[in-house]
Amino acid sequence: MKYLLKNASVLYESEIKKRDLLICDGKIAGVSVSISADEDTNVIDLNNCFIFPGFIDVHVHLREPGFSYKETIESGSRAAAAGGYTDICAMPNLKPVPDSAEHLKEELDIIERDAVVNVHPYGAITVNEDGKELADLDAMAADVIAFSDDGHGVQNDDMMRDAMIKARSLGKIIAAHCEVNELLHGGYIHDGEYAKAHGHRGICSESEWGQIARDVKLAKETGCRYHVCHVSTKESVDIIRKAKADGVDVTCETGPHYLVLCDEDLIEDGRFKMNPPLRSKEDQKALIDGILDGTVDMIATDHAPHSAEEKSKGLEKSAMGVVGLETAFSVLYTELVKNDILTLIQLAELMSIKPGERFGIDTQIKEGNYANLCVWDLSKKHTVDPDKFQTKGRATPFAGRVVFGECLLTMVKGEIKWKQ
220 burial via Cβ count (<10 Å: 0-12, 13-18, 19+): middle
Amino acid at 186: G
- Contact by Cβ (8 Å): 266, 284: no
CATH 3.20.20.140 segments of the chain = 54-359
Q: Is 376 left (phi over 0), alpha (psi -120 to 50) or beta?
A: beta
pTM for the model stands at 0.98
For residue 114, the model assigns a pLDDT of: 98
- Which pLDDT does position 347 carry in this prediction? 98
What residue type is assigned to position 114 of the chain? D
| DSSP element (H, E) containing 177 | none
Residues 90/120, Cβ–Cβ less than 8 Å: yes
Rounded Cα distance between 316 and 294, Å, is: 35
Diameter of the chain measured on Cα atoms: 68
How high is the pLDDT of residue 212? 98
Give the pLDDT confidence score for residue 247 in this predicted structure. 98
- C-alpha 296/C-alpha 223 separation (Å) is 20
pLDDT tens per residue across span 149-183: 999 999 999 999 999 999 999 999 999 999 999 99
Whether 265 is catalytic is no
Catalytic residue, from 302, 340, 377, 385: name it. Answer: 302
3-state secondary structure of 413: coil
Contact 372, 416 (CB under 8 A): no
Neighbours of 1 (CB within 10 A): 12
SS (H, E, C) 124-160: CCEHHHCCCCECCHHHHHHHCCCECCCCCCCCCHHHH
**How does residue 385 score in pLDDT terms, banded at 50, 70 and 90?**
very high
Per-residue pLDDT tens over the stretch 92-133: 999 999 999 999 999 999 999 999 999 999 999 999 999 999
Residue 299: pLDDT band with limits 50, 70, 90: very high
Percent of the chain with pLDDT over 90: 99
Question: Residue 406's beta-bridge partner residues?
Answer: 377
- pLDDT tens by residue, 20-69: 999 999 999 999 999 998 989 999 999 999 999 999 999 999 999 999 99
Average pLDDT, the chain: 98
Give the rounded distance of the alpha carbon of 133 from its chain centre.
27
Q: Which residue(s) pair with 407 in the sheet?
A: 376
pLDDT band at 1 (very low <50, low <70, confident <90, very high): confident
8 Å CB contact between 201 and 188: yes
pLDDT at 199 over 90: yes
Which are the contacts of 88, defined by CB distance < 8 A and separation ≥ 6? 56, 57, 60, 62, 76, 77, 80, 117, 118, 119, 120, 303, 325
Element (H, E) at 86: strand 85-90
Residues 200/315, Cβ–Cβ less than 8 Å: yes
Give the list of residues 6+ apart from residue 284 with CB closer than 8 angstroms, or none.
258, 259, 261, 262
CATH code of 54-359, in short, is: 3.20.20.140
Domain with CATH 2.30.40.10 in the chain: 2-50+369-381+403-419
The sign of the torsion formed by the CA atoms of 287, 290, 292, 294 equals negative
- In whole angstroms, what is the distance from residue 6 CA to residue 36 CA? 9
How far, in Å, CA of 10 to CA of 158, rounded?
47
CATH tag, 2-50+369-381+403-419: 2.30.40.10
pLDDT at 16 > cutoff 90: yes
CA dist 243 and 209 (Å) reads: 13
